[in-house]
Copies of this chain bind each other. A is one copy, B any other.
Amino acid sequence: MNTMDDMEPLGLFPDPRLSGIDGLVGFHIRLASAAVYQHFTETFSDLGLTQKQVAVLWLIEDQPGIAQADIGRRLKMDRASVMAIVNRMQDRGFVQRGASSQDRRRQTLSLTESGHASLELARGCIAEHEKWLKDRFTPAETAMLVELLRRVYV
C-alpha cells in the first residue's frame, strides 16, 4: 500500500540527488564521518571517551614512550590539540608524562594501570562499533573503501 513512507509529514524532501550539493565528494565524506562519530559516541557513552582520546590512548599503548609531536603527526593533529587531549587524559589518570633521556625537549608518554584498563574496555566497544560499520560492506568493499580513503589523507 504505502510505497515509500516518507517520514516527513510535510513531505518537503524531494529526491536527495536533486540538490547539487550531493555531487560533492567532500560532502559525502563529511556526512559519513559525522554518522560514524555519532555512533561512536553512542557506543562510548558509558566510557566517556571520544574518538581522538581513544586513538591517543591506543597509540600510547602501542608505542610506550611516544612523544606528543609523534602523536600529532600520526593523527594529523597540531601540537596544541594533542596537548589538550593528553592533558585531559592525564587529569583523568589514564596517561602519565615522563622525561626523555635522549631529548630533553620531549616528554615520554605512557599509560597508567587505569589507562590500560580503560583502553581494554574501549577495545570491546570499538569491536562492536566496527562491526556496525563493516556490516555494510563485503571484505573486498572494505578494502576498496580504505584504499580510496587513504589516498585522501596521505
Contacts and interface: CB of A to CB of B under 8 A. Distances in A.
A interface, how many residues as a size bin?
A: 35 or more
Interface string A51-66: 1000100110011001
A139 interface: yes
A34 B34 CA distance: 11
A28 B150 contact: yes
A126 interface: yes
A144 B148 contact: yes
A149 B31 contact: yes
A40 B103 CA distance: 36
Nearest to A134: B25
Interface stretch (A4-12, A83-91, A110-118): A4-12
Contacts of A9: 139-140, 143
B141 A58 contact: no
A97 interface: no
Contact of A152 (B8, B25, B36, B63): B36
A100 to B, nearest CB: 11
A6 B17 CA distance: 37
Nearest to A8: B143
A148 B130 CA distance: 15
A19 B58 contact: yes
Interface of A: 8-10, 12-13, 18-21, 24-38, 40, 51, 55, 58-59, 62-63, 66-67, 70, 73-76, 103, 126, 129-130, 133-134, 136-137, 139-153
25 contacts: A9-B139, A9-B140, A10-B103, A12-B67, A12-B144, A12-B147, A13-B70, A13-B73, A13-B74, A13-B146, A13-B147, A19-B62, A21-B62, A25-B142, A25-B146, A26-B36, A26-B40, A26-B129, A30-B51, A31-B76, A31-B149, A32-B33, A32-B153, A34-B76, A141-B148
